[in-house]
Every structure is written in structure tokens, then in C-alpha cells.
């Protein structure tokens, strides 16, 4: 069974631009979560989607948004990029929210110049 | 405030030198505790899930244990290929959100 896939793997943007990242969960998984990972902060939870609905949201500004499609694929968008948004963005999927193990994708490395 | 703390931040071991990594947590309504391994530039790889105090899971040279306030990841006779960052996460609260520690960076020297 194919794992979680994320595209693109690497991205370079400049301040003020916006970016869209994509995540395809493991087949059959309907829950998708997004995390930001930086050296100093570790993994910080962004949001979680299940059945096209946002279930949880972390403490990030409104510039960070996401959505989920009927096939469970998910996208996250960051508008008006700032230097501090440079990070590894990880997507994780599970069958459903609750007492379920999350499986991570390889991440998208975003560099904001 | 829900919190997950891992110690030590970094650990250097000689090949074959056993040790333990610690993950302590202060959360309400623990649903599960998860251990992941992360290699540089890659996403975390799932290792174990523990649900209740007293539970233990083993995989090759790794053994995870859980008490009411902390979890240990024991590494027996480690090899250089065990070098990685080990992450601990807890799922808790009414929203079943995941909270991650900042990880322990393990280096095993041949």
C-alpha cells in the first residue's frame, strides 16, 4: 500500500508570496493532519481534516489555511509568506480521528527568502 | 497546559551501549502515546503506540513502556543505523489532538 505522498518536496518563495502544498493520504485513510516542523519548536500542529471538515486547529495565524477534498486529499495554503514560515511541513493521515496512529509523509521543505 | 517533554535532547552512545530515552507528559484525557523515529530530511516513521499504564511494546532493539506520567524508549545494544531523532507524541483532550515533544537526537558511534 502506498504511503502518504506530499508535493512538492522542496519550494523556494519570497516574502509576501503565497504557497499551496498538497497531501495525498494512504488509501482508505480519511483523516489528514498538517504540522509545521522547525529546529527550535519541533512539530507544531496546524489543523486536522476529516470528511472534508476541519476538526481541529492549532495556534497559527489566519494566513495558514487548509481544505480537504472528497477523495481525502488535502491542501494547505499559506498567504503573505514571512521569513519565519520557513520550515518542513508534514502531513499525516489516519483512518479516522480518535485513537488512531498517524502515518507521516516525507514533508515539503519550504524556504522563504 | 498540555505539555510533552523529552530528555535528553541529545544522546551519544557507543555501539552496544544500552540506554533509555524519556518522554514525560502533562495532559488531561490521554488517549494514546506514540513513538516515532525521524531521519534527517524525512518524515517521522511510526514505531509504537501505547494506550495504558503498564503496557509495553517491542520491536527489534527497541522497547517502549508507559506509566501514568511518562514513557521510556529503551534501546538495547544499539547499532549505528539506530542513529536518528526519536519523537514522542501524546493524543489527548476533547479534540483528540496530538502534542509532540521536541525529540531526542541519538547518535550511535561504531
All three cell numbers of A48: 486536522
Residue whose C-alpha cell is 507524541 = B89
The yes-or-no verdict on residue A22 having pLDDT over 80 is: yes
Compute the count of residue pairs across chains A and B with CB atoms less than 8 Å apart: 53
User: How would you classify residue A63: left for phi > 0, otherwise alpha for psi between -120 and 50, otherwise beta?
Assistant: alpha
pLDDT band at B43 (very low <50, low <70, confident <90, very high): very high
> Greater confidence, A93 or B30?
A93
Choose among A3, A20, A12: nearest CA to B43.
A3
A106/B contact by beta carbon, under 8 A: yes
Note whether A42 contacts B101, CB cutoff 8 Å.
yes
pLDDT of residue B28: 81
How does pLDDT run across A60-82, given as a tens digit for each residue? 999 999 999 999 999 999 999 99
Spatial distance between the Cα atoms of A6 and A54, rounded to a whole number of angstroms:
19
Mean of all residue pLDDT scores within chain A: 94
pLDDT of residue B24: 96
B88 backbone dihedrals φ, ψ, rounded to 5°: -115, 140
Spatial distance between the Cα atoms of A74 and B83, rounded to a whole number of angstroms:
32
Note whether A104 contacts B98, CB cutoff 8 Å.
no
Q: What percentage of chain A reaches a pLDDT higher than 90?
A: 83
**HSE-up of residue B18 (Cα within 13 Å, Cβ side):** 9
Q: What percentage of chain A reaches a pLDDT higher than 70?
A: 97
Q: Strands B30-38 and B56-59, how do they pair?
A: unpaired
pLDDT band at A99 (very low <50, low <70, confident <90, very high): low
Torsion of CA B39, B41, B47, B51, to 10 degrees: 130
Question: Which of A43, A97, A98 lies closest to B100 in CB terms?
Answer: A43
Residue whose C-alpha cell is 521543505 = A109
User: Which residues in chain A have Cβ-Cβ distances shorter than 8 Å to B43?
Assistant: 4, 90, 104-107
R_g over Cα of chain B = 13
User: Which residues in chain A have Cβ-Cβ distances shorter than 8 Å to B42?
Assistant: 106-107
Amino acid at each position: 500500500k502506498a504511503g502518504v505522498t506530499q508535493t512538492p518536496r522542496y519550494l523556494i518563495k519570497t516574502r509576501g508570496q503565497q504557497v499551496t502544498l498538497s497531501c495525498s493520504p494512504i488509501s482508505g485513510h480519511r483523516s489528514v493532519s498538517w504540522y509545521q516542523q522547525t529546529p527550535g519548536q519541533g512539530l507544531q500542529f496546524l489543523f486536522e481534516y476529516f470528511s472534508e471538515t476541519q476538526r481541529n486547529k492549532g495556534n497559527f495565524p489566519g494566513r495558514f489555511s487548509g481544505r480537504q477534498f472528497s477523495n481525502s486529499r488535502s491542501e494547505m495554503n499559506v498567504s503573505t509568506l514571512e521569513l519565519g514560515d520557513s520550515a518542513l511541513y508534514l502531513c499525516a493521515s489516519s483512518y479516522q480521528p480518535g485513537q488512531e496512529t498517524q502515518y507521516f509523509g516525507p514533508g515539503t521543505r519550504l524556504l522563504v527568502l | 497546559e498540555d505539555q510533552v517533554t523529552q530528555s535528553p535532547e541529545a544522546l551519544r552512545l557507543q555501539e552496544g551501549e544500552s540506554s533509555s530515552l524519556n518522554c514525560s507528559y502533562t495532559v488531561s484525557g490521554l488517549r494514546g502515546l506514540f513513538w516515532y523515529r525521524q531521519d534527517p530530511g524525512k518524515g517521522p516513521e511510526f514505531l509504537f503506540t501505547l494506550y495504558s499504564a503498564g503496557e509495553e511494546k517491542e520491536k527489534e532493539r527497541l522497547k517502549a513502556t508507559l506509566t501514568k506520567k511518562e514513557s521510556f524508549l529503551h534501546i538495547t545494544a544499539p547499532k549505528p543505523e539506530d542513529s536518528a531523532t526519536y519523537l514522542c507524541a501524546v493524543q489527548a483532550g476533547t479534540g483528540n489532538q496530538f502534542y509532540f515533544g521536541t525529540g531526542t537526537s541519538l547518535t550511535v558511534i561504531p
